[in-house]
């Protein structure tokens, strides 16, 4: 199939493209800068420059490429710029979806998150409503996620992947990542708030498998939602960092998510079923990433 990957140079894109190429798909990846085209070409795909916020530019790109499938793995988180990230989710997604519809794309696979659910007891299934009444600063996450999911849903066949928190190479949780530095400096408190993790390899694999999944919205998380009291000491130990300080308060929406639908209805199985073993192993692998964000 002809597949267009938006977000080709990101943590998911770089793991996903070789899988698509290996399966003999004709893959084109997008980056904003000419220098980063070499990353995409090195993975075996065609590379184009484009900016998701440039509506006309994206329309013309997709008109030329005429992909059958668009995989949307756009975020803007390398610099932790959450305002820009919301802009990408709202405006970038709208541009990508409108261009896709105009150029006859059949299927879109989009990247969402598994921590936008309303507060409640236990891990959230996909039936739980999104937390649309959340106050700031969480409100801007919800604005981005709701807009993204609504836009992607306009493509006749679509799969919305609600990913857990990424760990593994190139992520904030890699040995050389942002969170590792925070934990080494004891800046992250252990709370009873629950998180669902996903190894970034599993995230990329789900995007690959979603080429054949029916239209759906699905949590892609590991088997073991975990409270900060559980995972943070394990992570700190793997990093050789001091034990985190405990804190009683946490946000009521920190409840984790369930992967039952992905397992039962789609037959998906994580290669890294629990952060308990995956997170320490990925930290110790030293290969914290794919290089610097500018590489």
Ligand X SMILES: NC(=O)c1ccc[n+]([C@@H]2O[C@H](COP(=O)([O-])OP(=O)(O)OC[C@H]3O[C@@H](n4cnc5c(N)ncnc54)[C@H](OP(=O)(O)O)[C@@H]3O)[C@@H](O)[C@H]2O)c1
- Which x/- pattern over 96-115 shows residues binding ligand X (rule: CB under 6 A)? -----------------x--
Residue nearest to ligand X (CB): 10
Residues 166-225 binding ligand X (CB under 6 A) are: 166, 170-172, 177
Q: For residue 295, with 0-12 CB atoms within 10 Å meaning exposed, 13-18 middle and 19 or more buried, which class applies?
A: exposed
Instruction: Output the smallest distance, CB 49 to ligand X, in A.
Output: 8
Give 9 or 103: the residue with its C-beta nearer to ligand X.
9
CB 284 within 8 A of CB 235: no
Q: How many residues lie near ligand X (CB under 6 A)?
A: 29
Angle at 106 between CA 101 and CA 112, to 5 degrees: 80
Based on the shown chain and the rule CB under 6 A, indicate whether residue 254 belongs to the binding site for ligand X. no
Based on the shown chain and the rule CB under 6 A, indicate whether residue 165 belongs to the binding site for ligand X. yes
b/e map of 26-53 (b: 16 or more CB within 10 Å)? Answer: ebbbbbeeeebbebbeebebebbebbbb
Based on the shown chain and the rule CB under 6 A, indicate whether residue 7 belongs to the binding site for ligand X. yes
Other CB atoms within a 10 A radius of the CB of residue 284 amount to 12
Based on the shown chain and the rule CB under 6 A, indicate whether residue 31 belongs to the binding site for ligand X. yes
Based on the shown chain and the rule CB under 6 A, indicate whether residue 13 belongs to the binding site for ligand X. yes
Give 166 or 213: the residue with its C-beta nearer to ligand X.
166
Gap between the Cα atoms of 265 and 123, Å rounded: 18
Based on the shown chain and the rule CB under 6 A, indicate whether residue 116 belongs to the binding site for ligand X. no
Beta bridge pairs of residue 109: 71, 159
Other CB atoms within a 10 A radius of the CB of residue 281 amount to 12
Instruction: Output the smallest distance, CB 287 to ligand X, in A.
Output: 14
Instruction: Output the smallest distance, CB 50 to ligand X, in A.
Output: 6
Beta bridge pairs of residue 71: 5, 109
Instruction: Output the smallest distance, CB 247 to ligand X, in A.
Output: 21
Gap between the Cα atoms of 37 and 9, Å rounded: 8
The footprint of ligand X (CB under 6 A) covers 7-11, 13, 30-33, 36, 51-53, 74-78, 88, 92, 113, 163, 165-166, 170-172, 177
């Amino acid at each position: 199939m002809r597949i267009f990957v938006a977000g080709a140079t990101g943590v998911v894109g770089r793991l996903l493209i070789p899988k698509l190429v290996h399966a003999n798909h004709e893959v084109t990846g997008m980056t904003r800068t000419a220098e980063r085209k070499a990353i995409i070409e090195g993975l075996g795909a065609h590379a184009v420059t484009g900016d998701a916020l440039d509506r006309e530019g994206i329309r013309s790109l997709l008109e030329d490429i005429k992909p059958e499938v668009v995989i949307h793995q756009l975020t803007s988180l390398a610099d932790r710029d959450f305002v820009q990230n919301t802009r990408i989710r709202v405006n970038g997604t709208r541009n990508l979806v409108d261009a896709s519809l105009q150029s006859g794309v059949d299927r879109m696979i989009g990247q969402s998150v598994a921590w936008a659910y309303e507060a409640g007891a236990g891990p959230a299934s996909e039936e739980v409503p999104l937390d649309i009444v959340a106050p700031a600063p969480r409100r801007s996450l919800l604005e981005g996620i709701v807009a993204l999911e609504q836009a992607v849903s306009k493509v006749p066949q679509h799969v919305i992947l609600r990913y857990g928190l990424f760990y593994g190479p190139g992520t904030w949780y890699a040995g050389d990542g942002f969170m590792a530095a925070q934990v080494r400096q004891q800046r992250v408190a252990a709370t009873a708030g629950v998180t669902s993790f996903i190894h970034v390899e599993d995230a990329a694999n789900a995007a690959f498998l979603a080429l054949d999944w029916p239209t759906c919205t699905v949590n892609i998380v590991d088997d073991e939602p975990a409270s900060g009291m559980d995972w943070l000491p394990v992570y700190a130990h793997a990093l050789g960092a001091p034990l985190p300080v405990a804190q009683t308060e946490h946000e009521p929406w920190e409840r984790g998510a369930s992967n039952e639908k992905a397992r039962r209805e789609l037959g998906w199985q994580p290669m890294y079923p629990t952060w308990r073993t995956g997170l320490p192993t990925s930290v110790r692998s030293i290969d914290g990433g794919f290089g610097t964000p500018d590489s």
